[in-house]
Structure 1
């Protein structure tokens, strides 16, 4: 266990190497840390910290500063999108390739919970699992069902763990899905995929009635359709804990993104979806409720 010197060494080494890279065009992490260790014991104490310094410098050297002022976004986006006739590429294409290089890889050992035999049938694909450190473990009790759901907590710009990303519920995980919505105080659900019974993407909500999914009762309140968005409002409660009261949840089904396309049919409609979500969040709970987002 580091007494703090290891972390201090990481920070100082990264700072020194960034200056060296900018001023000299080279880096020498090995000798930098060797010099730090000669001045204070345990500077960059573990192998993981040593690798982290390399990863941080690699990301800085490959990516640089990618922040763009809003007032300059249009001009900069135009420039980075232009095709270079000599390379037949563009800066934005190169940037995406760099992103693929520096993205951390999730290893099988990072997803040990999802890989447990008892949880296999709760995963739509064994190739798309959440890392253990990001899992939202279910709290509501549902018979012998485990507390696992293939989902991940993710931060927004303003709020930690504001989003929960998950798969479209399977027939055997609909109860788990609604437990997730209830347990984590989710006020919104965003559905980005089409329903397809052949692919087990079935409807997981009641239509003009109420229905129980595991211990969670879901009551249909209203629905309306506006262009590419179907808005539904549900009232949910935990039948095993009626003292917890009920909660309102708005379900946004986005129908402007066909399965055969990588991108939505309309930029305007996806922006409208984002605005409606933000408006509902602010009206209903002051923006504190989480949002579940799912596709296949």
Structure 2
């Protein structure tokens, strides 16, 4: 694949003189923001040694007791800045506008230096820092999300550092706030400074999007962006499974010859640090059969401030490591399915069962915390559950919105709102699409009312699908077969 050369020679232009290529995220002259930092309890100066992987589950349960009390203590014991480090370059008046947040600045000793542009003072500065991986120096570059004024510098860094992989762990806007400027074209080709960027391919999956860029200065290179889109606006993902699959894809696709992997969120410290720590600890888990989250976070905080920003992110790291240790990587290529299945049917030495049985036992051992299933356990909703041992997790229950409708038959008026807001359903995602399937039980409502379930994805209008009701008089277990029934209509939005 080749791109036609530009009609005229291109020069590096200082950010202030380059025309804006993308819509503004914030009004001109807006004051620089600061990242809100959590209030910290007094540190105990306690040390936390590495954990053997076979003790990981036990330690997780112990530290998560009493609402993660021990995890919070451990997180608060992390040094904010392990060394005396200066941020002179980032603090220069000429560079202040290049920083997205006034309190997240790169240290001088670990910052990425760009090549200086002739006649442009301090053009070597970008808010980005080299970060070590597990036994690999400068494996990563942790960067802030580019601002409109720094998009040119961002691509210059990608080119000069010979980066082949970009990891993006933020959305462009969250909570109606601009978190990152869009630094790539939706289609076609854009020129940033003297670097041309064209989108060659885009693949949208349920948890992340993969974009392949061709970047060209003199020769051309292929750069792949992995954009994790499932991080919620608040907190951390409900499960680490999506992040683990995302990280595996990044590790698999990054070429050995390439320079540092550029990882960025908005500030380049919280989610960015979380991704880097999980990557490093998975490598350590394989090499040493132990993990040292506390020690590794301490070390990378000496390279960039506030890496792993919240205690929730710190706990999420442990959850990801435990998930990988207990269940491993079960994803495989279709071409290897037949041989893999034959291997699973073979009895495992000393296990007394086949690999398939052992794998299924792992599924049945997964523990769901009762406090995550409160809605289904409410007295007003108990009679809606076909099997009283099966409840949907609150966060996965199909969301309801109240609409004008007749009252449910034989239900006290005061209980109608609770009844409307809960139905035993679970949203499950499709691997190659952000659309969701709604899994629901079938149930007999009083007076043979017929329940129609309508799920609206995003802001679009959903389509009604009739529910399936058992033709029987008594509650059934999950194993009891049942037939379909019809009756009067009742509309709910789920």
TM-score by length of 1: 0.68
Q: Report the equivalent of 2:207.
A: 228
Q: Report the equivalent of 1:76.
A: 59
Is the contact made by 2:165 and 2:225 (CA closer than 8 Å) also made in structure 1?
Answer: yes
Is the contact made by 2:130 and 2:140 (CA closer than 8 Å) also made in structure 1?
Answer: yes
Residue in structure 1 matching 2:249, options 276, 285, 289: 276
CA distance in 1, matches of 2:68, 2:177: 39
Aligned-partner SS, 2:138: coil
Shift of 1:163: 0.8
Residue in structure 2 matching 1:114, options 90, 95, 118: 90
CA distance in 2, matches of 1:140, 1:183: 12
Identify the structure with the greater helix proportion: 1
Query: 2:237 aligned with 1:264, yes or no?
Result: yes
CA distance in 1, matches of 2:179, 2:45: 41
Q: Report the equivalent of 1:205.
A: 184
Is the contact made by 1:193 and 1:258 (CA closer than 8 Å) also made in structure 2?
Answer: no
Aligned-partner SS, 1:256: coil
Contiguous gaps of at least 5 residues in structure 1: 1-58
Is the contact made by 2:163 and 2:260 (CA closer than 8 Å) also made in structure 1?
Answer: yes
Shift of 1:274: 0.7
Shift of 1:231: 0.3
Shift of 1:255: 0.9
Is the contact made by 1:256 and 1:266 (CA closer than 8 Å) also made in structure 2?
Answer: no
C-alpha spacing 1:203/1:65, structure 2 compared with 1 (3 Å): closer
Q: Report the equivalent of 1:190.
A: 167
Contiguous gaps of at least 5 residues in structure 2: 1-42, 267-494
CA distance in 1, matches of 2:177, 2:70: 41
Shift of 1:181: 0.8
Q: Report the equivalent of 1:250.
A: 224
Q: Give the root-mean-square deviation of aligned CA atoms.
A: 2.4
Q: Report the equivalent of 2:195.
A: 216
C-alpha spacing 1:152/1:183, structure 2 compared with 1 (3 Å): same
C-alpha spacing 1:64/1:201, structure 2 compared with 1 (3 Å): closer
Query: 2:155 aligned with 1:181, yes or no?
Result: no
Query: 2:256 aligned with 1:286, yes or no?
Result: yes
Higher gyration radius (CA) = 2
Is the contact made by 1:155 and 1:161 (CA closer than 8 Å) also made in structure 2?
Answer: yes
C-alpha spacing 1:265/1:214, structure 2 compared with 1 (3 Å): farther
